[in-house]
Structure 1
């Protein structure tokens, strides 16, 4: 029996959690808020601003955009994460990714291109160093030993 003053626990908007269980197969485009965990198969597109967790037995093919991606399953497609991508020990990610931070555990597999946002070289106008010499000036010159 509920005592007066006891509150029933209800998820707030910040605690949105969506779960696609093992054995579930989905094709199409899905948009979520909050955290999403996939343990089944998904083919298409998945979009969330929160965290996407791809479980050990999950297979995802298509386009993924998320705040954070944590995967120990299999992903084949294009992935964009605004915060980070973490490929856990048993995870396989095949495809191009774009993220500001990535972590790949020992035993995980990644095959593709990774864009971490460095679109230009840090030194656009390098200052000449005093210790660097132009070797082209010294080519074809014979060095004579001092006798």
Structure 2
């Protein structure tokens, strides 16, 4: 009885990585519960609950949503990273980026509109105006 239920259970996907190797070109959307490594070309979107790695030879044009990302290659589009986006020295990023945290090595090219999750420019301006008004009232 218990042996049968173990066979029907789905094992966690942690530690497994989907790979798109060099000289592979894909047009379309990828959705994964696991990590994804791109060393070829992808035009489309990636949605991953794990980490997305764009290798040195990798090129992605489109949209990525993931938990963490390491970029060594080229990305052009919309990038949303829940936790940490790490840009290696060979990375080239263009587009719009929303991140929790950003790490950039010297040499990386980062031509993007970037916002940190949780703090928008509008809220920062509103806080500054509130502090200025509070200072005027106490004076």
Same fold (TM over 0.5): yes
Partner residue, 2:130:
125
TM-score (norm 2): 0.80
Bigger proportion of residues as strand: 2
Partner residue, 1:20:
20
Bigger proportion of residues as helix: 2
Partner residue, 1:91:
91
Aligned residues: 122
In the alignment, structure 1 segments of 5+ residues that lack a partner are 1-10, 133-147
- Cα drift, residue 40 of structure 1: 0.3
TM-score (norm 1): 0.76
> Which stretches of structure 1, 4 residues or more, deviate above 4 A after TM superposition?
none
Which of structures 1 and 2 has the bigger CA Rg? 1
Separation (CA, whole Å) in 2 of partners of 1:55 and 1:13:
21
Please give the residue correspondences for 1:1-147 in structure 2 after superposition, counting only pairs within 5 Å. 12-117=12-117, 118-119=119-120, 120-121=123-124, 122-123=127-128, 125-126=130-131, 127-128=134-135
Separation (CA, whole Å) in 2 of partners of 1:64 and 1:108:
19
In the alignment, structure 2 segments of 5+ residues that lack a partner are 1-10
User: Does the Cα contact within 8 Å between 1:39 and 1:56 map onto a contact in 2?
Assistant: yes
C-alpha RMSD of the superposition: 2.0
C-alpha offsets along residues 99-118 of structure 1, whole Å, 9 cap, x if unaligned?
12111110000102001131
Secondary structure of 1:125's counterpart equals helix
Separation (CA, whole Å) in 2 of partners of 1:30 and 1:79:
14
